Structure 1
Amino acid sequence: MISITNLSYYLGSRALYENASLHIKPNQKIGLIGLNGTGKSTLLRIIDGEYQPDGGTISKAGDVTIGFLNQDLLSYQTDDSILSVAMQAFARQLALQKQIDEILHQMETNYTDDLVDKLGRAQEEFEGLDGYSVQSKAEEILEGLGFSTDDLQRPLRTFSGGWRMRVMLAKLLLQRPSLLMLDEPTNHLDLPSIKWVEKYIQTYEGAVMVVSHDREFLDNVIDVTVEVANAKLNYYAGNYSFYLEEKALRNEIQKGAFENQQAKIRQTERFIERFKAQATKAKQAQSRVKQLARMERIDDVIDESARVNFKFQFSTQPGRHILHLDDITKAYGHKRILTRADIRLERGDKVALIGANGRGKSTLLRIISGSEPVNEGRRQLGHNVSFSFYAQHQLESLNVDDTLLDELKHANPNKTEGELRGVLGCFLFSNDEVFKKIKVLSGGEKSRVALAKVLLSQANFLLLDEPTNHLDMQSVNILIQALEQYEGTYVVVSHDRYFVSQIANKIWYIENEQIKEYPGTYDEYEEWMANRSPEELQAAAPAKSEKTNKVSENLIGLDARKEWQQALKKANQQAEEAEAKIGQLETRKKQLETELADPKTYGTNGALQTRQADYQRLTSELGTLQQQWEEAMLEAEELEGKLKG
């Protein structure tokens, strides 16, 4: 279907790909994996035609169509409803529907055989393309991705970036391309939506290539793993778990071959050194020199499994009871989240809070932290409890003028520079990168710094909201190791099932406006949920007490909601303005790059210095604007979450 042969692609002098090859067959489900920066997303863009390779060929069958879900789609906005945007996938059916409507309108005043013939042909093609069911298909997929029926007629512009990405995913799924390419799709999905997409991909008739850090997702949807490493595409004929086993075996074989070759090289070098000066052996020694020069060297195995090498310390040891929420009621207008809910947290509890978006998980974390007021009830922290809270909006607390090293020193002054460098290395910041300013980091890099700060804090209680969203698999494993070593208590919101299965000894979920607890691991919880009978599910619904029934439906009122809506509108406007300015500055930057590459510039007195100064100024302004855009988008995401509950 698609053949990639001897692909080469360079970023400056660094080879992302060098003589790399891959064949994509119809119906294959491929997982593209590798460390951050190895070029996974770049490969998808090369296949899509956005980037041109520096060498090699990409051959596609004539009837191949490609659908590409990438992070750039976050910025797409329109006043059309999300149902209309998703139905753009049915361009031909919509065109035929418009044509049929126009013909019927003409026939009201001009009934001719020619119009009847046109109508018949259009209706026949429309029926052949299953045109009468396209709207129901679009509604089914949108609702499968977590949208309510009421959401379908809302303008796309009113949704945050993550929800807009879901709409674009729905559109791609409806187009059913020959090759569906998905770049980190699970970042924007909750657990029920991830499971829905898994089932959809499993039965998808085309080929799929997906970049993801979600191990469980990869295991459930792919049958081929392609690892990007050492500028090559390494093929493994199985899912991610198979890849781990097969790679360990390959590494063992390669390690043995490397060590054998090194022993042979040392032996040969000793022979050359011993006999090169002897006339009777000089010819043999020279032959061995040529043999070494011709030898194809085997690379040593690179250990990619970073380890956490620091110890967590508490400033104070807490008492047995960490937290008690008593009779908590929380609602946004008519949307009730919790009603007379109770939960207790004991020292040493490792809790994963799971469930669909809109159920109130992030709201509950904010209630626990004390940053979200409740309508009724009491929040009580235990003796000597000190907590640290990680969420996307916490990125604003980073000091943009600090270096990465300084920022971590503030979190834990007792750690040595070597220990802090070790922590930063775990989160993919190495060598001189530790001296970067916070203000030049991308949103994902800032997330990693903020997460490192939380882990380094001397808090004995951690609250982590979607901590794995911007981490690759290596960093997720580091976080798992860190939390396994952490002797305190934590509550984590995450949709990454593998991550949750490794770090939790209790599961919390919100059901019927109550906080429910399962006293076991995630795997045990999944098995228990699968075995619940309809009668048990019905019995799980709490009876409404008289006290509960008297709770006002409008506990907060509309004022707070209006404030959030106004703030969301302002954040979206700020993001749009920043995006427009970024486009203008990028255009000017490209012009300057062209001028700086022109030899005439160097011959004009003062022109070079002026353009270089302009170029540096533009680069700085672009960095500031991109940061403003990211902050506005993060704020919009947070507000959208509040409005949706």
Structure 2
Amino acid sequence: MAAHASCVELLGSLFPDIDPQISDYVTGIINDSSEDDFESPQDIYDAIGDLLLNSATGKTEDDVKDICEKFHGLMKSTQSSEAAEHKVLNSPIQLGSLSRDLIDSSLENQSIWLAKKETVSQVDQKKLEKAEAKIQKKNEKRANQTTSVKKTPNGTCELASASQQLNRRDIKLDSSGSNKSYDIRIENFDVSYGEKSLLTNASIHLIYGHRYGFVGRNGLGKTTVLKMISSAQLRIPSHITILHVEQEVVGDDTLALQSVLESDEKREKLLKEEKEINAKLHKKEQNDNKSDMLSSRLNEIYQQLEAMEADKAPAKAAVILAGLGFSPKMQSSPTREFSGGWRMRLALARALFSKPDLLLLDEPTNMLDMKAIIWLENYLQTWATTILVVSHDRQFLNAVATDIFHLHSNRIDSYKGNYEIFRKTREDRLKNQQKEYEAQQQYREHIQIFIDRFRYNANRASQVQSKLKLLEKLPELKPVEKETEVILKFPDCDKLSPPILQLDEIDFYYNKDKIIFKNICVNASMESRICIVGENGAGKTTLLKILLGELNPVRGLRNAHRNLKIGYFSQHHVDQLEMDVSSVELLALRFPGKPIEQYRSILGSFGITGELATRSVATLSGGQKSRVAFAAMSCLHPNFFILDEPTNHLDMETIEALGKSLHKFQGGVILVSHDERLIRLICNELWVVQNGTVSSLEGGFDEYKQIVEKELQVTL
């Protein structure tokens, strides 16, 4: 006990603020060990150094090594004194008499087993495990936690944080510069947003050259994970280049084509150096030796440019821009002349041209028309490096993805194959999981019946004990967690007699030199389910605004039923929401005079329930904001819907629910969309906006897709 007291005293003097449980643990290790276990102070440091360093504030590595040396000296002196006082037995000890002696407290100090036990640590094992877990968690947070403050649109701040368990081998390879692998492992990481935990102990393994689709419900953290990777809050090897297509290109006088070329920084740097060297050589101010050095360097630059096929770069950039819908005239226009949507396309073009080792895409199809989507699908199928894409476009993921990451229940599951294969595999996996769980429950019940029946039967006691142990050894299986079904419910409306909405011989233009529509004649009824398609810039949104009555035609008439109430969903609906209030408050501001329960009921019809309804709109995900916009639109009790790109930011389950809800809706529907799944779910008529006209295709979406693919082949 003297040695134990010396250890505690020494530790307390050098580390006065140490946790008592940690102190007990450390002194227990020292007292239970021999000089053979710790031959040097370094051995003691290896055993307890990290523990002391992370649990004692204000102490350095040298402080810890100093106490390890003192522990080693104390251990040697204690064991030397014990050897000097070693007792020699005069006669053998009988175990029977020893057991009696153990009961007699007067013989306690004469037993060699009890004397040995004096040096054993008296630490409670449960407390020790709890302390170790606490220290490990604290250590991981200190070493690996990174946080960033992100401003929401209304100016408030949300704290996004990530903690990651790093692989020591990968860190060593990375620091030495010897890591040549382009596979990426992000293991055992947690992600939280504010006080909400998004991921717990998740792992992602990206194999070089694979294309990963990232799917899951709105608001679970897919976009946050992409941002964490691109901002290095989740660490990956430093030699891997990352590009996250997130922000639109800044508008300035740089031409669109040149903006794409400048994304290849290595090529631009070599071209700039080439110009500088040529300028110096033309001045002829250098001596012969310096001229030779410049000429030699110039040859090296030419070789590097030739190796990367720099002369073909403008043509490659032009092909990418053309595929994304940029005409030759647009490619030669300054970036400041483009709208936000086109600047996002430009950002995508820069990413495709620069070819990073890891390309991160967040809903890339939102900004594209059907022709550009088909081109992008084909282009990415031959992509050489790694892609991680968040998308809710089922057809796009079927065409592009080689693997799927599914985010749910605070974890990420991986699947091989495209989206359809993922769906089938997941369904089979869930069925098997449920069957296995049910089979085990039956087995447990069978064993429990036996235990309950013979629990008090002395002849069956051993069998009961065996069954109890068998139950304890069975792994704990969990039933399948069924995801809540997404339901969108639009309010009922009264039927109107035709004609409902009609455009007769409409002409429209902003400028006579550029006529947008010429002699348009279209009509819609309460049974209409019309989808408007066409290239970006063809006039789809303009046609919607004429149908709404927001734009007056230059010639012709717009006829609408006198009781017609149109619910309009804009593709820029997020800009129309008040961000600094909750969803309930937003409806109360727009439609005052109703009880809060009614606002909650309306929001609940679109999946905004519980705590979501009282959260600031700014903190909601894009899909959740769309649902709030649907709820606000429904407060008017419209009998006709005009929807402009309603699927942007919606997850697949919500898109499916939207299609079913619109199909059941008793009024008419006109929508602009490029989502193939939604179009096939609800539309019975297809309007194509092209070359100043609006025509209806009898073959529907299949015919339109064939036309677009043929045009794409001719263009490229």
TM-score of the two chains, using structure 1 as the length reference = 0.73
User: Which of 209, 215, 218 pairs up with 1:36?
Assistant: 218
Deviation at 1:390, TM superposition (A): 0.9
Q: Which residue of 1 aligns with 2:304?
A: 125
Contact 1:392 1:447 in 2 (8 A): no
Contact 1:360 1:510 in 2 (8 A): yes
Contact 1:142 1:167 in 2 (8 A): yes
Q: Distance in 2 between matches of 1:126 and 1:528?
A: 40
Contact 2:533 2:688 in 1 (8 A): yes
User: Which of 483, 488, 501 pairs up with 1:323?
Assistant: 501
Structure 1 unmatched runs, 5+? 535-645
Are the structure 2 counterparts of residues 439 and 232 from structure 1 closer, same or farther at C-alpha, using a change threshold of 3 Å? closer
Deviation at 1:531, TM superposition (A): 8.1
Q: Which residue of 2 aligns with 1:627?
A: none
Contact 2:534 2:690 in 1 (8 A): no
Q: Cα deviation per residue 1:524-583 (whole Å; 9 max; x = unaligned)?
A: 54347668999xxxxxxxxxxxxxxxxxxxxxxxxxxxxxxxxxxxxxxxxxxxxxxxxx
Contact 1:342 1:514 in 2 (8 A): no
User: Which of 568, 575, 581 pairs up with 1:389?
Assistant: 568
Q: Which residue of 2 aligns with 1:7?
A: 188
Q: Distance in 2 between matches of 1:120 and 1:276?
A: 91
Q: Is the partner of 1:321 in helix, strand or coil?
A: coil
Are the structure 2 counterparts of residues 431 and 92 from structure 1 closer, same or farther at C-alpha, using a change threshold of 3 Å? same
Q: Cα deviation per residue 1:147-205 (whole Å; 9 max; x = unaligned)?
A: 23333344434534332222221111111122222121112222222122111101112
User: Which of 536, 554, 560 pairs up with 1:375?
Assistant: 554
Q: Distance in 2 between matches of 1:377 and 1:486?
A: 30
Are the structure 2 counterparts of residues 266 and 422 from structure 1 closer, same or farther at C-alpha, using a change threshold of 3 Å? farther
Contact 1:325 1:378 in 2 (8 A): yes
Contact 1:321 1:347 in 2 (8 A): no
Are the structure 2 counterparts of residues 93 and 229 from structure 1 closer, same or farther at C-alpha, using a change threshold of 3 Å? same
* 1:94 is aligned to 2:230: no
Q: Is the partner of 1:348 in helix, strand or coil?
A: coil
Deviation at 1:102, TM superposition (A): 2.8
Are the structure 2 counterparts of residues 411 and 108 from structure 1 closer, same or farther at C-alpha, using a change threshold of 3 Å? closer
Q: How does 1:469-548 map to 2 (within 5 A)?
A: 469-527=648-706
Q: Cα deviation per residue 1:200-257 (whole Å; 9 max; x = unaligned)?
A: 1011122222110111111111121221223433222211111111111111111211
Q: Distance in 2 between matches of 1:324 and 1:407?
A: 33
Contact 1:353 1:507 in 2 (8 A): yes
Identity %: 32
Q: Is the partner of 1:108 in helix, strand or coil?
A: helix
Q: Distance in 1 between matches of 2:707 and 2:258?
A: 40
Q: Which residue of 2 aligns with 1:137?
A: 316
Q: Which residue of 2 aligns with 1:27?
A: 209
Q: Distance in 1 between matches of 2:439 and 2:594?
A: 42
Q: Distance in 1 between matches of 2:259 and 2:710?
A: 39
Are the structure 2 counterparts of residues 211 and 397 from structure 1 closer, same or farther at C-alpha, using a change threshold of 3 Å? closer
User: Which of 196, 200, 203 pairs up with 2:379?
Assistant: 200
* 1:50 is aligned to 2:228: no
Count of paired positions: 526
Q: Distance in 2 between matches of 1:270 and 1:433?
A: 45
Deviation at 1:507, TM superposition (A): 0.6
Q: Which residue of 2 aligns with 1:641?
A: none
Contact 2:218 2:623 in 1 (8 A): no
Amino acid at match of 2:492: Q
Amino acid at match of 1:238: G
Q: Distance in 1 between matches of 2:712 and 2:623?
A: 42
Deviation at 1:295, TM superposition (A): 2.9
Amino acid at match of 1:98: K
Contact 2:375 2:712 in 1 (8 A): no
Deviation at 1:301, TM superposition (A): 1.8
Amino acid at match of 1:30: Y
Deviation at 1:341, TM superposition (A): 1.4
Q: Distance in 1 between matches of 2:700 and 2:208?
A: 38
Contact 2:374 2:709 in 1 (8 A): no
Q: Distance in 2 between matches of 1:402 and 1:43?
A: 26
Q: Distance in 1 between matches of 2:282 and 2:510?
A: 51
Query: Which deviates the most, 31-40 or 77-86?
Result: 77-86
Are the structure 2 counterparts of residues 526 and 305 from structure 1 closer, same or farther at C-alpha, using a change threshold of 3 Å? farther
Are the structure 2 counterparts of residues 125 and 324 from structure 1 closer, same or farther at C-alpha, using a change threshold of 3 Å? same
Contact 1:179 1:208 in 2 (8 A): yes
Amino acid at match of 1:82: A
Contact 1:388 1:463 in 2 (8 A): yes
Contact 2:218 2:624 in 1 (8 A): no
Q: Is the partner of 2:501 in helix, strand or coil?
A: strand
Q: Distance in 1 between matches of 2:316 and 2:620?
A: 41
Q: Distance in 2 between matches of 1:531 and 1:106?
A: 52
* 1:106 is aligned to 2:106: no
Q: Is the partner of 1:344 in helix, strand or coil?
A: strand
Q: Which residue of 2 aligns with 1:567?
A: none
TM-score of the two chains, using structure 2 as the length reference = 0.66
Q: Distance in 2 between matches of 1:290 and 1:346?
A: 71
Q: Which residue of 2 aligns with 1:251?
A: 430
Q: Is the partner of 2:264 in helix, strand or coil?
A: helix
Q: Cα deviation per residue 1:100-121 (whole Å; 9 max; x = unaligned)?
A: 3233333434296625444333
Deviation at 1:493, TM superposition (A): 0.7
Q: Which residue of 2 aligns with 1:565?
A: none
Deviation at 1:317, TM superposition (A): 1.3
Are the structure 2 counterparts of residues 282 and 413 from structure 1 closer, same or farther at C-alpha, using a change threshold of 3 Å? farther
Contact 2:218 2:622 in 1 (8 A): no
Q: Which residue of 1 aligns with 2:169?
A: none
Q: Cα deviation per residue 1:453-501 (whole Å; 9 max; x = unaligned)?
A: 3356532210001111121112112211211211221110112222222
Q: Distance in 1 between matches of 2:616 and 2:394?
A: 32
Structure 2 unmatched runs, 5+? 1-181
Higher relative contact order (Cα pairs below 8 Å, separated by 6+ residues): 1
Q: Which residue of 2 aligns with 1:303?
A: 482
Q: Is the partner of 2:359 in helix, strand or coil?
A: strand
Contact 2:608 2:627 in 1 (8 A): no
Deviation at 1:77, TM superposition (A): 5.5
Cα RMSD after superposing both structures: 3.5
